[in-house]
Amino acid sequence: MMKKLGLSVLLLGVALVAAWNFVAIPGSNSWSAEELQLINSLSIERLAPLPADPSNRVADLPAAAEFGHRLFFDTRLSGNGSIACATCHRPELMFTDAFQMAMGAAPGPRHTPSLVGLSHSPWYYWDGRKDSQWAQALAPLEAAIEHGIDRLQVARLIDSDSSYRQMYNALFGALPVIPATPLAASPLGDEREQINWNSLSGAQQNEVSRVFANLGKAIAAYERKLMPGAARFDAYARSIAASSELDQGDILSSNELAGLRLFIGKAQCVSCHNGPLFTNHEFHNTGVLSIAGQLPSMGRYDGIRTARSDPFNCLGEFSDAEQADCIELRFARDDNSLVGAQKTPTLRNVSWTAPYMHGGQLATLAAVLNHYNEAPLSMLSHNEAKPLALRPVERRQLEAFIRTLSAPLATEPKWLAPAVEFTQSN
Ligand code: HEC
Ligand code: HEC
């Protein structure tokens, strides 16, 4: 996928230093050719079209997004009838929840990340333990602390709701006969659910799991609609790309510009937060303090191993991909450098999604910048980021710059609220 783009842009930039030249920016700043390239590479206008997902043949079908939209907001997809994906991924909070740790059927062990622009990522979860967005969508449904339901009851809900059944049939072919008993069954559930699961025939198990996987594919089709909008930073990037020196002056303040200069220079944020989504889609150890009461997270080191053994991965029987399509999964690194590494999150809209990091350990952007400034030793393995020795004013400038990355989504409003037909079903 596009994850090497940021690096190649950096290298291109380095090559361009030879042709060093400066463009005067009224009011505050001038940029080298290398810096101009870098700034341009961060602009939302450089965002590539969404990569195809060969493992999900309905990923780009409008009817699948409509179906997924309904499922995303449906609290009936939970054991206690009150939890939907949107309970934790709230549209008005850029699909986060403002909690330190997620709160589903019970408190969870991780902080809820944003879903905006996420379909550009080849890996899902902080530790990358899922290799597609549809496979990811299945996990919270069966997690006791999240939706707390099981795949048999989910399949039965689709069967019993005539509108869902029609949507399903139109996309995936006729829904198979869903066993009427036992009540709840899943290979991942508690002991009783597992015993129930084993009481089904192999063919029944396969059919129920396929229905379940298909629902994940519809949800993923919906999530592909959630895209960031152009922010103040992008207006600035556009204006300097066009070299229209006349109207650059007021787009960013001198503090914000100083923050941008630090971001792409001395503070080295851009070495991981690069490209139009401000993420390299890779995994890094940044020395974030372990979550209180938990062992330090092994991060991607464990995540890639989990992804490889997931029956819903790109190579599995429920994937629509050919083996040759599963490059990311087949060739992913799994070495010791990934111990304690988490996925680099996007910085778009990040000023609206506090608290921060995989355990919500840092409450504010100022705390995040203090963290990077100090670059503490990692509890596990080593912190890849180095201490920055930034003065307080520089940290404030960096924060001011990061705040220029927030903007309303470039997503049709209808996707940001429950579907209108939602209130009535059956
Ligand atoms: C109880 C709150 C909760 C519910 C309900 C929930 N999520 Fe999440 N979601 C989280 C948390 C917490 C994480 C991060 C977990 C981790 O990385 O270990 C997450 C991660 C994700 C990710 C990966 C984000 C990334 O950066 O890679 C996606 C996609 C996602 N959720 C979609 C969904 C969908 C779709 C549903 C409904 C089927 C759902 N979530 C239900 C809390 C929730
Ligand atoms: C070595 C790669 C790397 C560098 C350099 C880096 N980051 Fe990060 N950043 C990450 C990773 C990985 C995370 C998630 C860490 C975690 O959750 O434990 C993160 C998280 C963040 C978050 C929290 C986002 C959220 O949604 O929780 C912010 C804000 C942030 N970084 C800003 C910066 C700034 C500003 C700089 C420069 C001072 C910077 N980063 C440098 C990799 C990096």
Interval 24-56: pLDDT, tens: 444 445 899 999 999 999 999 999 999 999 999
CB of 149 within 6 A of ligand 2: the answer is: no
Burial class for 400, CB neighbours closer than 10 Å (0-12, 13-18, 19+): buried
Considering only CA atoms, give the Rg of the chain.
23
Find tokens 């992008």 and name the residue.
Answer: 234
Express each pLDDT in 265-298 by its tens digit.
999 999 999 999 999 999 999 999 999 899 999 9
Residue 15 half-sphere exposure toward CB, CA atoms < 13 A: 6
Backbone angles phi, psi at 395, to 5 degrees: -65, -40
Express each pLDDT in 381-410 by its tens digit.
999 999 999 999 999 999 999 999 999 999
Cβ atoms < 10 Å from Cβ of 148? 19
pLDDT of residue 200: 98
Question: What is the rounded CA–CA span in Å between residue 418 and residue 72?
Answer: 8
Atom number, ligand 1, closest to the C-alpha of residue 146? 1
Evaluate whether 23 touches 36 at the Cβ level (below 8 Å).
Answer: yes
pLDDT of residue 421: 63
Buried (b) or exposed (e) across 263-295, using 16+ Cβ within 10 A?
bbeebebbbbbbbbbbbbbbbbbbbbebbeeee
Q: How long a stretch of residues is the chain?
A: 426
pLDDT of residue 248: 64
Evaluate whether 149 touches 86 at the Cβ level (below 8 Å).
Answer: no
Task: Supply the mean pLDDT for the chain.
Answer: 92
Question: Which ligand approaches the C-alpha of residue 217 most closely?
Answer: 1
Backbone angles phi, psi at 409, to 5 degrees: -65, 155
pLDDT of residue 5: 44
Question: What is the rounded CA–CA span in Å between residue 141 and residue 258?
Answer: 45
Could you tell me which residues come within 8 angstroms of residue 370 by beta carbon, excluding any fewer than 6 positions away? 395
pLDDT of residue 243: 73
Closest to 102 (Cα-Cα) out of 143, 137, 131: 143
Atom number, ligand 1, closest to the C-alpha of residue 358? 17
In this structure, the residue with its CA closest to atom 34 of ligand 2 is: 269
Question: Which ligand approaches the C-alpha of residue 118 most closely?
Answer: 1
CB of 288 within 6 A of ligand 2: the answer is: yes
Evaluate whether 133 touches 223 at the Cβ level (below 8 Å).
Answer: yes
CB of 357 within 6 A of ligand 1: the answer is: no
pLDDT of residue 231: 98
Burial class for 203, CB neighbours closer than 10 Å (0-12, 13-18, 19+): exposed
pLDDT of residue 1: 42
Q: How far is the CA of 224 from the centre of ligand 2 (A)?
A: 24
CB of 356 within 6 A of ligand 2: the answer is: yes
Question: What is the rounded CA–CA span in Å between residue 98 and residue 93?
Answer: 7
Atom number, ligand 1, closest to the C-alpha of residue 111? 12
Question: What is the rounded CA–CA span in Å between residue 346 and residue 344?
Answer: 7
In this structure, the residue with its CA closest to atom 16 of ligand 2 is: 357
Longest dimension (CA), the chain: 73
CB of 78 within 6 A of ligand 1: the answer is: no
Q: How far is the CA of 348 from the centre of ligand 2 (A)?
A: 12
Query: Taking the chain, what is the end-to-end CA distance rounded to the nearest angstrom?
Result: 41
Question: What is the rounded CA–CA span in Å between residue 86 and residue 75?
Answer: 9
Q: Taking the alpha carbons of 59, 61, 67, 70 in that order, is the dihedral positive or negative? A: positive
Cβ atoms < 10 Å from Cβ of 7? 14
Alpha carbon 189 to chain centroid distance? Answer: 26
Question: What is the rounded CA–CA span in Å between residue 92 and residue 96?
Answer: 8
- Parts of the chain with a pLDDT under 70: 1-29, 244-249, 421-426
Q: How far is the CA of 345 from the centre of ligand 2 (A)?
A: 7
pLDDT of residue 420: 79
Question: What is the rounded CA–CA span in Å between residue 222 and residue 83?
Answer: 18
Structure tokens of 86? 């949107």
pLDDT of residue 247: 56
Question: Which ligand approaches the C-alpha of residue 374 most closely?
Answer: 2
CB of 267 within 6 A of ligand 2: the answer is: yes
